Amino acid sequence: MPLRLTAEDQQLLDGGSGPGAQMAMRIVVRLAEALEAEQLLTISGAHVDSCLYHGPSTLAFAERLLALGASVKVPTTLNVSSLDLLHPDLFTGDPKEAEQSRLLTECYKGLGGQPTWTCAPYQLDERPGFGQHVAWAESNAIIFANSVLGARTDRYGDFIDICASITGRAPAAGLHLQENRRARRVFDVSGLPSALLDSDWLFPVLGALVGATTGVQVPVVTGVPGGQPEHRLKSLGAAAASSGGIGMFHMVGSTPEAPTLSEALGGVDPLSTMQVSLTDLNQARASLSTATGLSLSSVCLGTPHYSLDEFAVLVPLLSGRQVHPSVNFLVSTGRGIYHELQLRGWLGTLEAAGVTVVVDTCTYLSPALTGGTGPAMTDSAKWAYYAPSNLGVEVTLASTAECVNSAINGVVTVDESLWANG
Amino acid sequence: MADFPHFLCPGQAEGLVLRLDEPLSLWGGLDATTGRIIDQHHPQVGMSISGTMLVMPSGRGSSSASAVLLEAIRCGTAPAAIIMEHPDAIVALGAIVAAELYDVALPVVVVSPQTLATYITGDSLSL
């Protein structure tokens, strides 16, 4: 069935709300046709990934929208930039590129986006509620919104995020529709040791395995105790959305659309069920740990942006200790959380230990931010997945405590006991 | 899904097939200035996708893949066409915006798994 537009949609498409909104609507309609949507739906918010600079074309796109008089119609948050806008001196790369990146952030502010500069918009006070339709881009934010909040967004990429925001409309397709939200592949982890099931450290590794194994279908994890905290769900989702193309997962007893396995599956038999073994997980872990030696140049945490709950774990681990002078220890977070760190006195503790807290950006975007190309450690499977390509560094994926201990010792120090049989 | 092939973004193209064994996230996986695959986890790392009829099962990973495809189109390093088994909005958007901004038509096409399986690296293909 062809796409049906409302009178208001047609008015936007015909230019009745100005050429900027018309250009945005043209792109929304083209995507809707590509996805074979039958109609558009109204969104209550947007999260824009397009403000991250990838070259002159991305700036040209934003400048075109701005020049044509476009502005956002719904509350719109902005994703990370290429720069730490509060601490510009941390960026030591090409000044011309920094200037282009800054111009791009100005464009998106000019279009009406809120200067939140975070890849974890779900950590902000205002976040979408269950069943609300939004247009979120940034793979980890998409999977969190769908899976953990029960809000509805498709896997949006750059450009459509801002166009949906300008028009207030998005294609009624993909994960906006109930039938596409049911789980198709089951990952049963009930056979894993209980100590591992009870560890933060399981979740990024499991996410990497689920993403690489699932492809594009919605997976469901069963066998983990119910009521898992958000930081674990965030870590799993970010990893799965990096190693795979998925925009949603369920975890029985922990995510809102999966009170039971049967409900997550929508009463339909799954395409496959995988009994996850320690061997599977160790393979996933090994694939993300490319470093072979013990030397360590940087520790990078906070991809996606560290939450207050995660800082509550990290700060005591570093309190009264000192990062080895040869190690660059960076934690990325949003400026909202950074402000809270200041208020609580946690920032002082971290800085006294030799940690740099980076805001507005992410440390895998530029070697300048990590302090070089030497071996790195991280507790984020997403960082581990992208850093070897983006930065040319070797990576060891490890638990938060192992990252801290290694930073203090100045060499990679890991504990394999959790991952050993028996 | 309607009849195959389904054009996510219309256009005509011809060239030699490059078939990827796994999906590729263009962001983090492609250097737009050279057209080379840089994803160290990808089986075809190091190969150039410029001018090819790029065949892969689906998209992967980052939302910024749209921007990287647009930038590759601007740099002249993009594939001639992208052919997938699963529709991917993120990949399609790079081509949709290139049509809007630069008046370039890079076809992004979804075909059946059976058809996708017949595409062999090095074969000539026109759309």
Provide mean pLDDT across the span A245-274: 96
The reply to whether omega before A219 is within 30° of 0 (cis) is no
Residue A288, pLDDT > 70, answer yes
A31, A36, A56 member nearest B93 (Cβ):
A31
Judged by CB atoms closer than 8 Å, whether chains meet at A55 and B71 is answered as yes
Q: What is the pLDDT of residues A145-158, one digit of tens each?
A: 999 999 999 999 89
Asked if B106 reaches chain A (Cβ–Cβ under 8 Å), the answer is no
Judged by CB atoms closer than 8 Å, whether chains meet at A157 and B66 is answered as yes
Catalytic, B50? Answer no
Question: What was the ipTM of the complex prediction?
Answer: 0.91
Question: Are A226 and A258 contacting, i.e. CB atoms less than 8 angstroms apart?
Answer: no
pLDDT of residue A368: 77
Distance, CA of A198 to CA of A268 (rounded, Å) = 30
Question: Are A305 and A337 contacting, i.e. CB atoms less than 8 angstroms apart?
Answer: yes
Q: What is the pLDDT of residues A380-421, one digit of tens each?
A: 999 999 898 888 899 999 999 999 999 999 999 999 999 997
CB contacts, 8 Å: B6 with chain A: 36
| Catalytic entry in B25, B48, B50, B62 | B62
Comparing CA positions, the residue from A406, A384, A420, A398 lying closest to residue A201 is A398
Distance, CA of B78 to CA of B81 (rounded, Å) = 8
Sheet with A185-188, side-by-side order of all strands:
A250-251, A219-222, A185-188, A272-275
A57, A158, A216 member nearest B74 (Cβ):
A57
How many other C-beta atoms lie within 10 A of the C-beta of residue A132? 16
Residue A331, pLDDT > 80, answer yes
Residue B61, pLDDT > 70, answer no
| Total-model pTM | 0.93
Cα distances from A91 to residues A99, A350, A363, A372, A375, in angstroms, run 11, 20, 10, 12, 20
Q: For testing the chain B interface, which of A177, A389, A394 should be mutated: the one with the most B CBs within 10 Å?
A: A389
> Over the Cα atoms of chain B, what is R_g?
13
pLDDT of residue A124: 95
Asked if A394 reaches chain B (Cβ–Cβ under 8 Å), the answer is no
Looking only at the bridges linking them, the beta strands covering A46-48 and A76-78 are parallel
pLDDT of residue B2: 54
Residue A422, pLDDT > 70, answer no
Closest chain A residue to B29, measured at CA: A389
Shortest distance between the Cα of A289 and any Cα of chain B, in A, equals 11
CB contact burial A399-420 (16+ within 10 A = b; e otherwise):
bbbbbbbbbbebbbbbeeeebe
pLDDT of residue B1: 52
For the ranges A86-90, B46-50, B80-84, which has the lowest average pLDDT? A86-90
pLDDT of residue A100: 92
HSE of A194, CA atoms in CB hemisphere, 13 A: 1
Residue A98, pLDDT > 60, answer yes
HSE of B13, CA atoms in CB hemisphere, 13 A: 24
> Which one is predicted more confidently, B4 or B48?
B48
Asked if A402 reaches chain B (Cβ–Cβ under 8 Å), the answer is no
Which chain A residues in 114-143 lie under 8 Å from chain B, judged by CB atoms?
137-139, 142
How many other C-beta atoms lie within 10 A of the C-beta of residue B122? 9
- Is the Cα dihedral B32, B33, B36, B40 positive or negative? negative
pLDDT of residue B3: 73
Interface A-B, measured as beta-carbon pairs within 8 A, has a size of: 144
Which chain B residues in 70-89 lie under 8 Å from chain A, judged by CB atoms?
70-71, 73-75, 86-89
Sheet with B124-126, side-by-side order of all strands:
B6-9, B108-110, B81-84, B53-56, B14-19, B124-126
pLDDT of residue A130: 98
To the nearest 10°, the Cα dihedral for B93, B97, B102, B103? 80
Question: Are A288 and A313 contacting, i.e. CB atoms less than 8 angstroms apart?
Answer: no
Asked if A49 reaches chain B (Cβ–Cβ under 8 Å), the answer is yes
Judged by CB atoms closer than 8 Å, whether chains meet at B96 and A31 is answered as yes
The reply to whether omega before A304 is within 30° of 0 (cis) is yes
Q: For testing the chain A interface, which of B34, B63, B64, B73 should be mutated: the one with the most A CBs within 10 Å?
A: B63
Alpha helical stretches, state H, A1-125: 7-13, 19-34, 56-67, 95-110
Judged by CB atoms closer than 8 Å, whether chains meet at A155 and B90 is answered as yes
Provide mean pLDDT across the span A104-129: 96
| Length, in residues, of chain B | 127
Provide mean pLDDT across the span A251-260: 98
Looking only at the bridges linking them, the beta strands covering B53-56 and B36-37 are unpaired
Homologous superfamily of domain range B6-126: Phosphohistidine domain (3.50.30.10)
Closest chain A residue to B109, measured at CA: A34
Mean pLDDT, all residues of chain B: 92
Q: What is the pLDDT of residues B76-105, one digit of tens each?
A: 999 999 999 988 888 999 999 999 999 999
For the ranges A105-114, A239-248, A350-359, B100-109, which has the lowest average pLDDT? A239-248
Residue A371, pLDDT > 90, answer no
pLDDT of residue A409: 97
Banded model confidence at residue B8, pLDDT cuts 50, 70, 90: very high
pLDDT of residue A123: 96
A34, A156, A388 member nearest B63 (Cβ):
A156
Q: Look at the block and give the residue holding tokens 């922990």.
A: A254
Which distant-in-sequence residues (6+ apart) come within 8 Å of B78 by Cβ?
B35, B49, B50, B69, B72, B106
Which two tokens mark A23? 């250009």
> Which one is predicted more confidently, A379 or B40?
A379
Judged by CB atoms closer than 8 Å, whether chains meet at B62 and A64 is answered as no
Cα distances from A106 to residues A51, A53, A201, A339, in angstroms, run 9, 12, 38, 22
Banded model confidence at residue A112, pLDDT cuts 50, 70, 90: very high
Question: Are A65 and A28 contacting, i.e. CB atoms less than 8 angstroms apart?
Answer: no
Cα distances from A305 to residues A271, A374, A376, B24, in angstroms, run 34, 22, 18, 24
Judged by CB atoms closer than 8 Å, whether chains meet at B1 and A36 is answered as yes
Asked if B112 reaches chain A (Cβ–Cβ under 8 Å), the answer is no
For the ranges A193-207, A247-261, A304-318, A359-373, which has the lowest average pLDDT? A359-373
Residue B27, pLDDT > 60, answer yes
pLDDT of residue A152: 98
- State the DSSP code for A132: -
